Amino acid sequence: MAKGKFLNALLNTINTVQSQNRDNPNEETADSTVFDLLRNKVRELDEKNRDKQAAKGKEPVSVLDLIRNGVEHVRNQNSEDPNVKTAPKAIFDRIKQRIEERPQRRATKGIRRVINEYNLDVSSLPPQALEQIQGQYIDDQKRLNQQYANAIHQLIERNR
């Protein structure tokens, strides 16, 4: 997966969310199997990624997208399982929020770099405008990365 640090951070996030959920009297406590499913899904994606099974013969997908999809899969699996009470949506939202922090930090750094390189004075812009620019930056960066991943994937397929 994307480095062991990210995997460990994500597993720690799952543990933290579980503790917060258990300790919060205002939120329904989710069944522990939901968190076990999340941890297992992350480990499964990590193993597939290390074995290069995630991308064999398919269009490339980012690790973050794989994890987001895995969290959604667990959420759907939990809501469909009649034997386990459905966990509050906020649990999955907190985990997804942690996943999104990494691209957000990169975008913030990227926008800051652009502002500095072009000596732009953004002091008169409202924070919402910068957030909108940052969102567009994230979308553009994701599309660019996907194009490069597809091009590299095609080269790999041709050289097999």
Residue range 31-46, pLDDT digits in tens: 999 999 999 999 998 8
pTM, entire model: 0.78
Give the N- to C-terminal CA distance of the chain in Å, as an integer: 23
DSSP code string of 80-101:
H-TTSPPPPHHHHHHHHHHHHH
Give the model's pLDDT for residue 64: 87
User: Where does residue 153 rank: exposed (0-12), middle (13-18), buried (19+ CB within 10 A)?
Assistant: middle
Task: Answer yes or no: are the C-beta atoms of 96 and 71 closer than 8 Å.
Answer: yes
| Torsion 62-64-70-76 (CA) sign | negative
Task: Output the CA torsion 43→109→17→62 (10° steps).
Answer: -30
Question: pLDDT tens digits, residue range 82-122?
Answer: 999 999 999 999 999 988 888 899 999 999 999 999 999 99
Largest alpha-carbon pair distance within the chain? 59
pLDDT band at residue 25, thresholds of 50, 70 and 90? very high
Token reading at 122: 């953004």
Residue ranges per domain, the chain?
3-158
Pick from 87, 83, 79, 138: nearest CA to 109: 138
